Amino acid sequence: MTRTVLVLGCVAGCAAGAPDADPALSPATTTSVDRHASLAFTREHVTGDIYHYSALVPIGTAPSAALRLHRVVRELAPFVPRRTARAAMLLHGDFATFVTDFAPTLGAPASPAPGLAPYLAARDLDVWGVDRRWTLPGSAGDVSDFGAMGVAQELDDLRIALALASATRLAGGARDGTLALVGFSHGAQLAYTYASVEAARPSAQRVVRALVALDFYGALGPDQVDVRAFACGNSAAEYDAVAAGFVDSPNDFLISAGQNARTDPDGASGFGDLTNRDLMLFVVGQTYNFAPFAPLYHLLAPVLAGDAAVGLGETTEDAATAWLAGSPPHQSMLEGADLDALLCGTGPMPVDAPLSRIRVPLYYLGAAGGVGALGVYSTTQVSSSDVTAQVVQRLGAERIAEDFGHGDLLFAADAPTLAWQPLAAWLARH
């Protein structure tokens, strides 16, 4: 581990020995080493003086035992990040990676959405991220180690990622090695869980300075009966699937929905009389039909004509289809079971993580058409004295089905004004 910290600190923060590179090169300047080396590192241009670093750090011998760390930061010179007073670790959600959620112009396919990570970096925040193991299956899609990819393992991985980020910042001259932990969707639930677990450690071992949850909950209120029943049912089914050997929860449906809507929007989807575009709009615009995280939960705000989604109100279809098509092929079934079990709240828990242990400042930012106001309950269960809760809402209560959606916090044309600016301002103060 010591060697990894030193190597990451140098390639991400030291000028000495770095290859010559022109920061003006566009669209990307990339330096890579082999996947099986002790540290695989890439550097690519994002915009202006902002660069994206990625380091693949092996942490074991299992097929997917690696962490992909990300850093999006302004540079003084090639491989020399600007020093910043504040830093944040961003945690992606389901069917996603750090890039597809937070730096989507770098994705494959590339998205026109500019991305939260570059936005925050441009405002002098040192932005970090980590991809969960299920985004990195072994060669030929080897998922044989997915059966161990539960929340307990993910919290251990996150502790390593935070330690690496902290050590790298300190090695680069930062006065403070702490970071804000910012999670989107299920990444927000992981952030809540990690903050609780870390709070039980001695103060010298804590790295999280503040906590941000983007449109998800860390616990369900007593009145959220339907959502709790959904979580409990999912958890039981997912644990049964894992016990039967089904450890992979593949994203092939979402990938196909995105790809087909991009390449053949008017083609037949195979679902009734829906075209490929119709199916994509149904999936992102009326998500509550199969994922009722809230009564009218939707990934992206739809334009409705009667009962049908016929367009998107906040986000371009190009950005929407890129998000789906860029999904990693595999996802851990055990992670889903554990996260649902934590929300269900009955039976043995995968980890001990009561929200009441959390004392760091907390900011909840919801989307009215996503989890929205249902996420506010979690903010009342922490012991923090500094708590802020906001929900982005454009329309009246009678039009929640069309209001700002879950993923609109990341991809909407107005996301910088409605969501990112208040988030950046809060992080600057914390």
Average pLDDT, integer, range 374-383: 98
CA gap 21, 14 in Å, rounded: 14
Predicted confidence band at 407 (pLDDT cuts at 50, 70, 90)? very high
pLDDT of residue 373 exceeding 80, the answer is: yes
Of 185, 398, 401, 414, nearest to 301 by C-alpha is 401
pLDDT of residue 213 exceeding 60, the answer is: yes
Angle between helices 186-199 and 151-171 (to 10 degrees): 80
Give residue-wise pLDDT tens across range 314-325: 999 999 999 999
Predicted confidence band at 9 (pLDDT cuts at 50, 70, 90)? very low
pLDDT at residue 137, as a whole number: 86
Give residue-wise pLDDT tens across range 262-279: 999 999 999 999 999 999
**Sign of the dihedral defined by the CA atoms of residues 398, 399, 404, 407, in that order:** positive
pLDDT at residue 39, as a whole number: 66
Predicted confidence band at 4 (pLDDT cuts at 50, 70, 90)? very low
Angle between helices 151-171 and 2-13 (to 10 degrees): 50
Mean pLDDT score of the chain: 91
pLDDT at residue 203, as a whole number: 95
Q: What are the φ and ψ backbone dihedral angles of 365, each rounded to 5 degrees?
A: -125, 110
| 58 within 8 A of 34, measured Cβ to Cβ | no
pLDDT of residue 371 exceeding 70, the answer is: yes
pLDDT of residue 246 exceeding 60, the answer is: yes
Residue 141 makes CB contacts below 8 A (sequence gap 6+) with 329, 330
pLDDT of residue 2 exceeding 80, the answer is: no
CB atoms within 10 A of CB 172: 19
Average pLDDT, integer, range 87-108: 98
**207 exposure class (CB count in 10 Å sphere: 0-12, 13-18, 19+):** buried
Q: Give the distance from CA 414 to its chain's centroid.
A: 20
pLDDT at residue 20, as a whole number: 31
What are the structural domains of the chain?
Answer: 2-241+331-429 (3.40.50.1820)
Give residue-wise pLDDT tens across range 130-141: 999 999 987 778
pLDDT at residue 140, as a whole number: 78
Average pLDDT, integer, range 161-187: 96
**398 exposure class (CB count in 10 Å sphere: 0-12, 13-18, 19+):** exposed
